[in-house]
Structure 1
Amino acid sequence: MVGAGLLMYLRSLVSMLFLGRLGRLPLAGGSLALGFANITGYSVLSGLAAGMDPVCGQAFGAGRPSVLAAALRRTVALLLAASVPVALLWVAMRRVLVAAGQDPEVAAAAHEFILFSLPDLAVQSFLHPLRVYLRAQSVTLPLTCAAAAALLLHVPINVFLVRTLQLGIRGVAIGAVWTNVNFLLFLVAYVVSFSPSSGELSFHGNDKAIDDDEEEEMEVEWGRLVRLSVQSCVSVCLEWWWYEIMVLLCGVLADPKAAVAAMGVLIQTTSLLYIFPHALSCAVSTRVGHELGAGRPAGARRAARVGLALGAGLGVAACAWAAAAARGKWARAFTADAGVLRLAAAALPVLGAAELGNCPQTAGGGVLRGSARPGTAARVNAAAFYGVGMPAALALAFWPGRMDFAGMWVGMLAAQLVCAGLMLRAVLRTDWEEQAARARELTGAVDDDDDLKSAAGHADEDKVKAGNGMLVVTVC
């Protein structure tokens, strides 16, 4: 997952670099557009797709591939439906931003960017569920290979659109969508070409006629998936929105264009650092789900504790890297604007300190996701980011004698430290026997003890063949 994450980060980095070379206004407009898109669209789709994680991970551990395929189909349908109102909001983006007090020139550039990003909603509606579906089965190498192939095409695509066709900010938006389409097509080609007859990587469930009892059970399964998806969406959005709200708030600081552009640079930086704890979180979620689905609560407990320890280590490493970047020329890779560089350099050390909390709390979120407790994660994020972080950031950024741009990142630091403490408390107080029982109910194995034992052995064999282990899943 680290490999795929780094490759997709490089894709977004290339897009940001092309925006930066177009000038301050396109960079600010693109950053604002991405912030708006993340708040209203990408975070929603990503959060809804995360509802698949516990279902697919635990179903694979229980040896029930048909449950995985059903979850994939239903989640794609759910995301496509959710994309419709999001698209309508994107069309009206310029009026919304101007009414919210954003600079009209920046708002116009952002609106132009997001209009040409509309097709990406449909692409992401397939891409997010497919990635979860494969990852839940420890199939991570194809994700990395597909991301690498898409990235190889991304630079020439941007050169063609931005320089050859002179499309400017439109070309950057179209290039990002084009690359995501390539990524999706490569993954679909893998599934179609290498889907084993067992159905573990098949999009197809059982096509036989269903009776009334089976139809009722399908409605129950739909209800479970929607509940988990909505709770996961709330959890993801509460954290993701905080970052993007900071981008929007930059538009009303003393120097809005420099502040928005600097925030774009720092969001790219924190996105790079987030790749590693996010990959760890996915690995922890998958491993915890497998162990619970196979009826091994002790293994789930062990995976959770190892994940938290690794998260703490990643936090220390990320903090050290950010401190070094603040003294170096990291921000100059994005822009040569002196005002933007000054703001970015002042906030980078605070960003690094926030990673001391962000990395372990992200690992803890993977534990809660793998054990089908997104509601707990949502409550933790609400308390940390909006009960502590938001008031602190607003006070420090806008109060008399304010810290301005850096004050927002100090608020982020407070939020991340509180979030890490609450996540640690939730994980350490987990009743793993109870979670194993819940997993049997979620995967439909609650009344089938014999099949569960057989499936556990089957899952063990599959995980050995796939090289299943937290390190393997994380690195790929």
Structure 2
Amino acid sequence: MESQTNELHHPLLEPVPDSAASNGGSVELEMVLSDTETPLIRRLAAASRIELNLLYKLAAPAVMVYLINNAMSISTRIFSGQLGNLELAAASLGNQGIQLFAYGLMLGMGSAVETLCGQAFGARKYDMLGVYLQRSAIVLLVTAIPITIIYIFSKPILILLGQSPSMASAAALFVYGLIPQVFAYAINFPIQKFLQAQSIVAPSAYISAGTLVVHMILSWIMVYKLGLGLLGASLTLSLSWWIIVVGQFVYILTSPRCRATWTGFNSKAFGGLLEFVKFSSGSAVMLCLETWYFQILVLIAGLLENPELALDALSVCMGVNGLLFMVSVGFNAAASVRVGNELGAGNPKAAAFSVLTVTTVSFLIALVEGMIVLSVRHVLSYAFTSGETVANAVSDLCPLLAITIILNGIQPVLSGVAVGCGWQAYVAYVNVGCYYIVGIPLGFLLGFHFKLGVKGIWSGMIGGTGMQTFILLWSTFRTDWNKEVEKTNKRLVKWEANKETILKE
């Protein structure tokens, strides 16, 4: 990222180049923002109408996709929680302590497709999208193998991290059923990013909605009718993810909208894998550091004096936070697509305005969500478990939950901007400093030294999130979007050159 050193060179004030026209980018928005003869207020009003219309078409179905997918995970924990408090704590530990490791790694590596496909689509290099999709799937399938080994040895890993043998055993049983889900992730995330880069989001929402219905029915049969308990619940979740993968791939094969970007399986996908791994690694580290941050919160809570109560209360709060976080993740996807498309199309002003709009909208929605959570704090836990003790503990944690939700209205969107621009390595460094050098040590200090328990741990980690959000806001505000367009063009030329080299070979 480059700092803006002269206000006269701000992308909203400079003339639009004649070549800034392409699919994915909005030439109309760029022209409106460049029309210096129109009063500023009228320009901003017209630009807002254009951008909100584009954002709604992307964000609304994307939010639905992530909400529905997360609802499957939450419903699995609800089914587990009805078996007893130990099962709820075990499902929470298995999900937050182990499964999120794979989710963060796979989604992060899949985000490389989001950057490359978004910018290539904006630049009308359609044939490159299918190659990126296949290359990413190959890399992620290979990555799934060592992750599977971690799943297999989840019980001794959890015991090594300080969990009780009974809790580790129950959580490991839940995790074993999630092994097929890892390989579903490896294919789903590249497909998902491939479609999102083309602003094809609604079909994924329909597929996920249908799968959720099937998931609920199968979970009820597996857990209660067949009596398979925790293992049945997690196996059903894995099966549901594979249904989504198959549904989306069938759509790609049959839809006219993907004819230009999907031309069949191609041997070129096996070339340039090392370069792709390097680029994917930056995305993976960026997102993993974020995902693992709250995963560590759950693991640390398991070290408290009353770990079962702490994990039950955190399970409820993290479940609610995870569900509402999907709204922000939907805006994250929309921000990544919009910024990537506009940069690929050579529209710096439109890219800058997209960032401003999506961040504002996401923050306002998060503010409303936080207020709603506070208003229902006393009854929130009964959707997960009937215990009054857990309900009181959840109510006590809700103010921290509300603050986290509000911060999540900004931070994920800025991460989406980073993905759209290809800033993953920079954000990874920011995450290391804010999360692991500030947030976690501060949480330990408040939670154990000052005896504030889970509230202290969470408060310290909120401090790290707040610092990271402020740094990303400042960095984004100072970005020179004209130079980002130049970097995007160089990146696309580089990857196009890689493709041509493979063709010669």
- Range into which the TM-score falls when normalised by the shorter chain: 0.7 to 0.9
Distance between the aligned counterparts of 2:177 and 2:406, measured in 1?
A: 37
Query: In 2, distance between residues paired with 1:203 and 1:306?
Result: 37
| Corresponding residue to 1:422 among 464, 467, 471 | 471
| 1:71 to 1:385, Cα distance in 2 relative to 1, 3 A | same
1:105 deviates by 0.6
Q: 190-199 vs 350-359, which deviates more? A: 190-199
The offset of 1:203, in angstroms, is 4.4
2:421 aligns with 371
Asked if the contact 1:357–1:419 (Cα under 8 Å) also holds between the matched residues in 2, the reply is no
CA contact (8 A) 1:356 1:417 kept: no
> Equivalent of 2:412, from 362, 373, 376?
362
Matches within 5 A, 1:277-292: 277-292=328-343
CA distance in 1, matches of 2:282, 2:307: 34
2:57 — aligned with what?
Answer: none
Structure 1 residue aligned with 2:298: 247
In the aligned structure 1, how far is the partner of 2:148 from the partner of 2:495? 41
- TM-score normalised to structure 2 length: 0.83
Superimposed CA distance per residue, residues 268-302 of structure 1 (whole angstroms, 9 cap, x where no aligned partner): 11111211111111101100000111111111111
Among residues 340, 348, 351, which one is paired with 2:401 in the alignment? Answer: 351
Residue number among 13, 37, 40 corresponding to 2:101 in the alignment: 40
Match of 1:442 in 2: 491
In the aligned structure 2, how far is the partner of 1:117 from the partner of 1:39?
11
Aligned equivalents of 1:19, 1:46: Cα separation in 2: 25
Q: Tell me how far 1:225 sits from its aligned partner.
A: 2.7
CA 1:199–1:397 in structure 2 vs 1: closer, same or farther (change >3 Å)? same
**1:234 paired residue among 285, 295, 310:** 285
Partner-residue secondary structure (3-state), 1:119: helix
**Distance verdict in 2 for CA 1:251–1:293, change over 3 Å:** same
Contact 2:115 2:420 in 1 (8 A): yes
Structure 2: distance between partners of 1:431 and 1:224: 26
Checking the alignment, whether the CA contact within 8 Å between 2:336 and 2:417 is kept in structure 1 is yes
Match of 2:187 in 1: 126
Matched residue type, 2:367? V
Q: 5 Å matches for 1:28-427? A: 28-196=89-257, 198-205=259-266, 218-219=271-272, 222-326=273-377, 328-400=378-450, 402-427=451-476
Q: Which amino acid aligns with 1:129?
A: P
1:343, 1:405 within 8 Å by CA — same for their partners in 2? Answer: no
How big is each residue's C-alpha offset from its partner over 1:411-438, in whole Å with a ceiling of 9 and x where there is no partner?
2321221111011011111121111111
User: Deviations along 1:141-166, whole A, 9 cap, x unmatched?
Assistant: 11100001101101110111111111
Task: Tell me the amino acid that sits aligned with residue 413 of structure 2.
Answer: A
- For residue 17 of structure 1, report the CA deviation from its aligned partner: 1.0
Contact 1:343 1:406 in 2 (8 A): no
Matches of 1:197 and 1:371, distance apart in 2: 24
Structure 1 unmatched ranges of 5 or more = 449-476
Q: Distance in 2 between matches of 1:325 and 1:416?
A: 24
**Residue type at the aligned position of 2:115:** P
AA in 2 matched with 1:329: V
Tell me how many residue pairs correspond in the alignment.
436
- The Cα offsets for residues 7-57 of structure 1, whole Å up to 9 and x where unpaired, read as 222212211110110101111111111123235322111111111111010
The one-letter code matched in structure 2 to 1:433 is N
In 2, Cα distance between the equivalents of 1:61 and 1:54?
A: 11
**Distance (Å, rounded) in 1 between the aligned partners of 2:190 and 2:264:** 11
Is 1:433–2:482 an aligned residue pair? yes
The change in CA–CA distance for 1:324 and 1:28 in structure 2 (over 3 A counts) is: same
Q: 1:391, CA displacement in angstroms?
A: 1.7
| Superposition TM-score, scaled by structure 1 size | 0.88
Q: Percent identity?
A: 25
Q: RMSD of the TM alignment (CA)?
A: 2.0
- The letter of the residue matching 1:343 is A
CA distance in 1, matches of 2:141, 2:447: 38
Q: Distance in 2 between matches of 1:445 and 1:83?
A: 28
* Aligned partner letter, 2:324: L
Task: Work out which of the residue numbers 56, 69, 75 in structure 2 matches 1:14.
Answer: 75
For residues 250 and 341 of structure 1, the distance between their equivalents in structure 2, rounded to whole angstroms, comes to 17
Pair 1:335–1:388, CA change in 2 (3 A)? same
Q: Report deviation, 1:447.
A: 9.9
1:52–1:225 contact (8 Å) kept in structure 2: no
Q: How far apart are the structure 1 equivalents of 2:303 and 2:188?
A: 35
Contact 2:101–2:288 (Cα < 8 Å) also in 1? no
- C-alpha contact (below 8 Å) 2:313/2:393 kept by paired residues: yes
After TM superposition, give the deviation of residue 239 of structure 1 in Å.
1.0
Match of 1:25 among 83, 86, 95: 86
**C-alpha offsets along residues 77-110 of structure 1, whole Å, 9 cap, x if unaligned?**
1111111111111111111111222111110001
